[in-house]
Structure 1
Amino acid sequence: MDRVIAAQVYNRICELGSLSAASRSLGISRPMVSRYLEQMEKWAGTRLVNRSTRKLTLTAAGEKVLLKTRSLSQISQEIEDQSAKDLPSGTLRVACAHFTAMHMIAPVLPELLSRYPQLRVELDVNNHPVSLVGERIDVAIRITDNPEPGMIARRLGECRSVLCASPQYLAARGTPQTLEDLAQHNCLHYSFFAGQSWHFVTGEGEQVSVAVSGNLSASISSLLMESAIQDGGIAMLPEREAQVALAAGRLVPVLTSFTPKSLAIYGIYQSREYQPAALRVFLDELACNLR
């Protein structure tokens, strides 16, 4: 049994605190994970972990061995064939929301996949956050100001929004002149921000919020945009999604003296220790596109 692979499996067991979680993360069976752990303990000549039905803890020897196996994995990675390291290959599993897939990832894929023919990107498009470990996701692209703890979050850019409505809606209902006027309008809002408040920054840099309500909320911003185009109400939409409708006059900005608060765009992944070339190149491309 390959000792380098056994060391890598041991590292993942220690990172995740569970043989089952390591099995899911690595895509191998739990019995195989147990065999690799047994190999490591045989190699070390001592017990490395204490197993119980509820949790797994490292022994004192296990802590010392973990330092060495981490170094071994790093050395193994460094001495791989240099060309294989430089050329992204294999399958990169990416989790993202519908808007992110269509307006941030889709524009970079054709050139990226043409440049690296050995690379395959598999998108898991889901408007609800997924478990990176449980779903075997390499990286999640998320728009948030609060990336989850325990993960590595690389900031890629900003998602700016625009408040807008159709000319026909505004002609029928009037154009709001103040944030307080939004209380008299049908506001189409994103489900995950249901609270329901919209947040703005004034020209003086002050952050302000206003409660809004309306007859439609959705987890897909394109649905809100279509409703706004069809005279359904006022929507806060990502600029990247609304720009075509704004340029065509199907939507017009409102309350332009207030800037909707922007959100950060992050690439979220599990570990700094091992970052495949495919992941590095993918995140670099997104960051360049989002400038």
Structure 2
Amino acid sequence: MSTNQHAMLLHEMATFVKVVETGSFSETARQMGTTPSAVSRAISRLERALATRLLQRSTRKLRLSESGQHVYMRCVDMVNAAQAVMQCSSAWQQEAQGLIRMSVPKAVGHFMIHPHLPEFLNLYPQIDVQLLLEDRYIDLIDDAVDLAIRITDQPPGGLMGRKLMEIEHVICATPQYLAQHGVPQHPHDLKQQQCIYLGEQAMDSKWKFQQGTKSVTVAVRGRYAANHTGIRLDAALQHLGIASLPYFVARPALQRGDLQLLLSDWTFKTYYSGGAWLLYPPTRHLAPKLRVFIQYLADKLAMVHKPLDHTPLGDTPLQVSTKNAFDESLPR
């Protein structure tokens, strides 16, 4: 008998077990929500497939044949296995446990996500986290990733997710550097400064600023460029120049006074700004491990990573969705 035939007879096998347990076609039909004739046909199909009579039937009772006894024991094993599968599934749906694979841009993972993971792992000892720090595009299905953070103002269609925070960029330098080279008062003043920029593409050295309806683009230069946020931060702290940095990276140094925010009355626009979206494949039943992880990250980032308000540093509330339903469809 082929595997397909085995699968097609699973219902008949379960019906056979129920008939033996109840001793009645009619009672089996009542418990299974069907008719006695449908139960009878199911037993007949199973007998034809196995080429043996399973039940000795009379007008008053049913009795297992010798072959029926052997088949019954195997079918009971099958029903018990199915029940074990359901119990296993139920446990996974009720308890936060298992592995979470999460893809995150390098800087976001290093400065925003990783610092909060030790506490999360202590809170949920049954959950493991695999953090994949990479800036390349990840296909959540093909790469078997549960969650991904992407920086974008237009989240891709076909996924679900939640906006965690806004990623803003700033320019800053140490007080020592500024004491030696002067504090720029206008974006054009940056032409005379040493600027530390990303350097991956030609447009990375063209810094764009906006103030109301005014827009200014400045071609900056400098002796040092690096495509790693941590390196640019360290270079700025080493007084090498004015660095372009995500605000969430620069904020601790700005608060300590190690760096000074520049041109705060202008908005520094980059190709790497936008909303930090936590995305996952569409599903009606989000696993508990993902639900608690998403909520944990949203709460932590709301408390710690507050947005820039283009005034002296303060505690402006982070604008994060307060929805608890994580099946929020993203705009196409």
In which range does the TM-score fall when normalised by the shorter chain?
0.5 to 0.7
For 1:195 and 1:219, the matched residues in 2 are separated by 13
Map 1:156-167; keep pairs closer than 5 Å.
Answer: 156-167=164-175
Equivalent residue pairs, number: 215
Maintained 8 Å contact 1:162/1:260: yes
Q: How much does 1:96 deviate? A: 1.0
Change (3 A) 1:149 1:237: same
1:284 matched to 2:295? The reply is yes
Residue in structure 1 matched with residue 230 of structure 2 by the alignment = 222
SS of match in other structure, 2:265: coil
Q: Deviations over 1:232-256 (max 9, x none)?
A: 2211222222223223332111112
Q: How much does 1:93 deviate? A: 0.4
Maintained 8 Å contact 1:152/1:271: yes
Maintained 8 Å contact 2:187/2:218: no
Structure 2 residue ranges without an equivalent (≥5): 8-84, 303-332
Map 1:52-131; keep pairs closer than 5 Å.
Answer: 80-81=89-90, 84-131=92-139
Change (3 A) 1:273 1:193: farther
* Identical pairs, percent: 33
Change (3 A) 1:277 1:191: farther
Maintained 8 Å contact 2:149/2:277: yes
1:254 matched to 2:254? The reply is no
In angstroms, what is the RMSD of aligned CA positions? Answer: 2.9
For 1:275 and 1:191, the matched residues in 2 are separated by 40
Q: How much does 1:164 deviate? A: 0.4
Give the letter for the 1:183 counterpart: K
Give the letter for the 2:295 counterpart: D
For 1:219 and 1:273, the matched residues in 2 are separated by 39
SS of match in other structure, 1:106: helix
Residue in structure 2 matched with residue 178 of structure 1 by the alignment = 186
Maintained 8 Å contact 2:147/2:280: yes
Q: Deviations over 1:152-205 (max 9, x none)?
A: 342111123332012222223221111122222232223567513434442xx4
Residue in structure 2 matched with residue 208 of structure 1 by the alignment = 215
Residue in structure 2 matched with residue 245 of structure 1 by the alignment = 253
Q: Which runs of 4+ in 1 moved over 6 A?
A: none
Tell me the TM-score normalized by structure 1.
0.64
For 2:283 and 2:126, the matched residues in 1 are separated by 23
Residue in structure 1 matched with residue 306 of structure 2 by the alignment = none
- Rg larger in 1 or in 2? 2
Structure 1 residue ranges without an equivalent (≥5): 4-75
Tell me the TM-score normalized by structure 2.
0.57
Change (3 A) 1:269 1:158: same
